[in-house]
Structure formats: structure tokens, C-alpha cells
Amino acid sequence: MELPEQQQQEEEEPDWLCPEPGGPGSHAAPARGSSAALGAQSGHGKTVPSGSTAHRVIVHIDLDCFYAQVEMIHNSELRDRPLGVQQKYLVVTCNYEARKLGIQKLMSVRDAKEKCPELVLVNGEDLTQYREMSYKVTELLEEFSPLVERLGFDENFVDITELVEKRLAQLQRDGCSKMSVSGHVYNNQTVNLHDVMHIRLVIGSQIAAEMREAMYNRLGLTGCAGVASNKLLSKLVSGTFKPNQQTVLLPESCQDLVGSLDHIRKVPGIGYKTTKRLELLGLSSVRDLQTFSPVILEKELGVSIAQHIQKLSYGEDDSPVASSGPPQSLSDEDSFKKCSSEVEVKKKMEELLANLLDRISKDGRKPHTIRLTIRKFSSTNKWFSRESRQCPIPSHVVQKFGTGSCDVVAPLVGILMKLFRKMIKVEMPFHLTLLSVCFSNLKALPSLAKGSIGFYLTRSSPPSSAGKKMEGVPQDQVNSCSFVQDGRIRNIRTRESSLETKSCTEEPEISLCPLHLLPAGIDQEVFSQLPEDIKEEIISDKTGERIHTKNVLSQPLPFSKGALPFFAQEQMHSTPNSRRADHSISSLSTGSS
């Protein structure tokens, strides 16, 4: 039987590459009755800028068995029964009733039914309801802070530093004398409310509890939370107690937490390929990496990577929580045992496009770049054999988006087949096991009044890329041999994997007027489609004199270069990165979450 292509993690996206934190071997214990006095000396008169990375308060929210929860919310009769969510031949996730009976994520359906005959299976191929619920969670968390960064469907980072500072100031004004921690304290450490960082984290634990309570009361969802001073640590500590619990990590226990990881591959941001290179150097534990010669490490990996991963091994992470915003790409893919004819390829492309065009229609933006990814069968290199090509979508095709899928499917399939033939010699036998189609470079429609020439010529600015997390672009899970993209079973890639991505050079060149001759905001591609007399009129309106456009429309439109379509970053921080893909994937291995 074919091995699973993805490690379950409830979505996409993801470029934050983390293993399951804590785990059964963790030596953390619940804090009992954690409370202490908050006196006048609580801050020792210190004032710390809220933007200081050393004094941030970050919450990592990880929803419990997300797909299964959504199914139980939609059908309450499933709540107390062992439930599994099936995609193809695998149980991609299951509820805790099923886990008690021995069902595990990514278990084959056959094995799961043998182990638990009473297991109820629901089809999870359609991700619509999961995607919609996921965005509701993110919107709810944004009520607490504008800095919310999605990590696939079921995980979010929230920077609550500013809210913590406000509450701390209010407590001091009110003369509050006592505070208590919500949830557990990692390692059962005693809270010192004469330590300003302890105070902030305690307040953070209370806010995290409010977030989880709001999720349950308003959406019916439960989840775990980790509260710490950076993203790496909050991610690691959030899974210490499961399900539906939370843990705060105080600074003094950071090294205990990082040291509890049983292998360097468990350090977020250290990928599969890098792990193999480190193992060749004799490194396997976090302690090995911490004490290894920086000079040798820099020689082997390069200065920036060497310094970065050694910082990670100490739990240091200064990457900000970047507000994700709308997806910067939308993709869908399908895996199969064999696809070996152009007819089959076209059929699968049409199926993927049908879903994507529906999502594009609901999104409201129009894509300007299309990418095709394939995976050829390989008995020796199964997990690292993806190849991609991308090219701009011609303007006349872009204009058809939103007018009816029938009008746009045929030209898109034609473009995809050109890209396909760049990678596959169709006259020779071929064996594919995956196809993926991605729309990117999404741009909003013009906001000018319809009817004005500016309405048709103005190009809207692309959405903010602050978070740059691409939902819909396969995200790399570097800590295992598989991961989940857009909630579906995918294979993994790493930053060091050789991924060939090229622009399509067969598209016709578009001659454009030099930018300095066009009024501000005019879209060159649309301008090039206008009749010559209208072009000349537009230019003359700016320059005050008539210019024959045939003499100036000679600058070719530079096609976009084939940027890597996968977020194979081995840095644990998500900026800069893509963001946001409805990538339809997180690709984090969340273990039992």
C-alpha cells in the first residue's frame, strides 16, 4: 500500500515548521493554586517598550482534532461516538473517543476498522466547512489583537503584548494585590510577581483563557494554548497538556523545555535536509547543537543558517507575529497511484480548476499567475520529487474570471498543458502521482466608479504581504516524511530540495508604453489592448501633445520569474514568507492535536 504523503496537521500552511511540543515524555506538571501578591514592587519601576522582543507575550492557539470537531458541531449525534475523518484510504484525524480505542492519525481505513469496528467515518475531501470555520476562529482572535498569524486551518499565533501592557497598567491603577495563573505553569515553576516578565506572562495566561472561552461559547470549539515570550516557545509549550488545556512558560524554564526535545529534528525550523547534514557531523541532540563549534557549523552550512539554527537550539526567536491578511494564493491538488496519459491529466486539471474557480469567485480577487506542480513516480526519491512551472495568465483570460467557469476553463487548461509539456515528454511513457494547480498574484478589483475609463485602466495594489503566509501553496513539513496541505495528504519538501520552477516563455510578449508617458495608476496590460486613437488620447492628456503610440509601445512586459512555489524555509519564523496560503495547508505536524 502506498505510504501516506502527509503528516496530519489540519491545513496548510504553512511555513512555520514545528513538531508536536511537549509530549508524553515532558516533565512539565500542572501548577497548583498558582497565585501570588502583586505589590508596589511588581515592576521595580521598570518600563519596557511593548515592541521589545525580549518582553513580548505571544499566544499559540492549537485547536483540538479540528476536522473532527467541525463534524461533531454539524452533527451532534457524533459527539460521543468514536469518529474519524477520512481522505482517500487514510484516517487523517479522529476525535478523542476514537483515540482512546487506539485509532491514530494517518492510520489506514482498513487498519482503523479492524482495530475499532464501531468507528464512524465521515468523508473529509471537501474542505469548505473546515476552511470557513478556520477563518471564523482567526476573526475571533483578531478581536483581542490585530496581530494574528494563521498556521493552517487549526493554529494561530497571537501577539497580545499591547493588551497585556494595558491590563497591567489598569491593575496597577486599581491597586490590585493578587493575581493567579490560568491553566498550567510549565515545570510547575513558582511565579514571582516581583518579576515584570512573570507578571506579563500571567496576564497573558488570563487573556489566553478568555480566547479559549470565547471560541467555545461562540463557535463550539476547544483548543490548547501556549503562552511565552516568542513564537517558537509558545508553539512548543502549547501541546504540553492536551486536550483543551493551556500552559504558560516562564523564562527560567525555557532551557528545560528546549532540552526536553529528544532530537534536533524536533527543533522548529530545522528541516529534514539540514537534520541529515547535522547528523553527518555527529549532532543528534539539542545539546550537541548548542555546544558544537560555530566555525565548523558556519563552514558546513553558511554563516546565516548556522547562526540561525544555533539560536533556535537555545529557544531564541525574534520573528514577529505578522498579521496574515487574505490568502496570497489559492491552490488545490490531488494525489493518486498513477496517471499516465494526457487525457487523464486534462481531466484532473479540470477537476482541480472547478474547485479553484469557485473559491476565486467567492474571494473576489483575480489571479494573474498560474502554477502547475507535478510529482513523478520514483521508487527511490518518493518524498522529494516535485517539479513546478508557472507563467502569467494572459490579460484576456484574466478578464474572464467571474464571468462563468465555462469561459475560462478551456484557456486555463491550455496554459496548464503548455506548462505540463515543459516538464513531461508526452511522447514518452510517464507515471505521475500528483498534480497541483495554484493561482497566485491575486489582485483586487478597481474601486473607481464603473463607467469611467479609470475603472477599466486602474490596477489595484496587491493585498498587504505583511504576513506573507500563502494558503494554497504546498508548505514544507521538514520534521517527518509527510504533511498535510489544505487539509489533504501531501508529500514534503525542504528548502534544500532541488525544486525547479521556471516561467513559461511561450506566452506572447505585450508591448507597453513607457511608464513615464502614462498617467498615474494606469494598468499597462489593459492599456495595450486599447485602440491606437484612444491610447494616443490618454497619453496626450498627460503630455499635452499628440504622440503616436506605435513609436513608443516597444517595451516588452517582463514575465514574472518562477519564484519557489513551496515554503521550504527552514527558518521557523514566518516573515518574510509567503503566509498565506488557503494552502489550503498548514503544514505543521501537530502530533495528537
Q: Is 519 domain-assigned?
A: yes
Q: Which residues pair with 335 in a beta bridge?
A: 434
Q: Is the pLDDT of residue 68 over 60?
A: yes
Give the pLDDT score at 386.
83
Q: Can you point out the beta strands (E) in 207-348?
A: 223-228, 246-248, 329-339
Give the pLDDT score at 258.
94
HSE, CB side, 13 Å, CA atoms: give it for residue 390: 28
Q: Is 564 domain-assigned?
A: no
539-576 pLDDT, tens digit per residue, is: 665 554 444 444 443 333 333 333 333 323 333 333 33
Q: Which residue has the cell 485602466?
A: 457
Q: Is 369 domain-assigned?
A: yes
368-380 pLDDT, tens digit per residue, is: 999 999 988 877 6
- Closest among 210, 196, 195, 194 to 160, alpha carbons compared: 210
Q: Is 359 domain-assigned?
A: yes
Q: Which residue has the cell 504533511?
A: 483
Give the pLDDT score at 524.
60
Where does the pLDDT of residue 55 fall: very low under 50, low under 70, confident under 90, or very high at 90 and above?
A: confident
95-128 pLDDT, tens digit per residue, is: 999 999 999 988 999 999 999 999 999 999 888 8
Cell of 200: 506579563
Give the pLDDT score at 140.
95
Mean pLDDT of 28-50: 40
State how far the Cα of 100 lies from the Cα of 522, in Å rounded to an integer: 61
Give the pLDDT score at 333.
85
Q: In this structure, what DSSP letter does residue 565 have?
A: S
Q: Which of 291-305, 324-338, 562-576 bottoms out in mean pLDDT, i.e. has the lowest?
A: 562-576
End of a domain among 413, 434, 454? 454
Domain that holds residue 526: 510-558
Residues 446 and 341 in one domain: yes
Give the pLDDT score at 401.
87
Q: Could you give the angle at which helices 128-141 and 66-74 cross, rounded to 10 degrees?
A: 100
Q: Is 423 domain-assigned?
A: yes
Q: Is 289 domain-assigned?
A: no
Q: Is the pLDDT of residue 352 over 90?
A: yes
Q: 410 in helix, strand or coil?
A: helix
Domain count, the chain: 2
Sign of the C-alpha dihedral, residues 258, 471, 8, 216?
positive
21: cis peptide before it, omega within 30°? no
Give the pLDDT score at 399.
87
503-530 pLDDT, tens digit per residue, is: 443 433 334 455 555 655 556 656 666 6
Q: Is 236 domain-assigned?
A: no
Give the pLDDT score at 176.
75
Q: Is 533 domain-assigned?
A: yes
State how far the Cα of 510 lies from the Cα of 500, in Å rounded to an integer: 26
State how far the Cα of 392 lies from the Cα of 395, in Å rounded to an integer: 9
Give the pLDDT score at 191.
94
State how far the Cα of 577 lies from the Cα of 162, in Å rounded to an integer: 24
State how far the Cα of 305 lies from the Cα of 297, in Å rounded to an integer: 9
Residues 333 and 449 in one domain: yes
- CATH code of the domain in which 386 resides: 3.30.1490.100
Give the pLDDT score at 210.
97
- Closest among 402, 396, 326, 325 to 362, alpha carbons compared: 402
Q: Is the pLDDT of residue 343 over 60?
A: yes
**What percentage of the chain exceeds 90 in pLDDT?**
49
Residues 446 and 516 in one domain: no
Q: Is 428 exposed, middle or buried (0-12, 13-18, 19+ CB in 10 A)?
A: exposed
User: CA torsion 84→87→93→95, rounded to 10°?
Assistant: -20
State how far the Cα of 144 lies from the Cα of 58, in Å rounded to an integer: 12
State how far the Cα of 571 lies from the Cα of 305, in Å rounded to an integer: 8
Q: In this structure, what DSSP letter does residue 567 have?
A: B
Cell of 477: 513539513
Residues 350 and 439 in one domain: yes
Give the pLDDT score at 459.
43
Mean pLDDT of 343-366: 91
- Closest among 164, 231, 238 to 203, alpha carbons compared: 164
Give the pLDDT score at 237.
97
Give the pLDDT score at 296.
94
451-498 pLDDT, tens digit per residue, is: 444 444 444 444 443 333 434 333 333 333 344 444 454 443 333 333
Which is higher by pLDDT, 113 or 268? 113
Most confident of 331-335, 435-439, 441-445, 559-563: 435-439
Find how far residue 516's CA is from the centre of its chain.
Answer: 39
Contact between residue 334 and residue 354 where contact means Cβ atoms under 8 Å apart: no
Where does the pLDDT of residue 32 fall: very low under 50, low under 70, confident under 90, or very high at 90 and above?
A: very low
CA–CA–CA angle 352, 358, 364 (5° rounding): 130
Strand 246-248 with 184-185, pairing: parallel
Where does the pLDDT of residue 407 fall: very low under 50, low under 70, confident under 90, or very high at 90 and above?
A: confident
Q: Among all residues, which ones are annotated catalytic? A: 155
Mean pLDDT of 223-230: 97
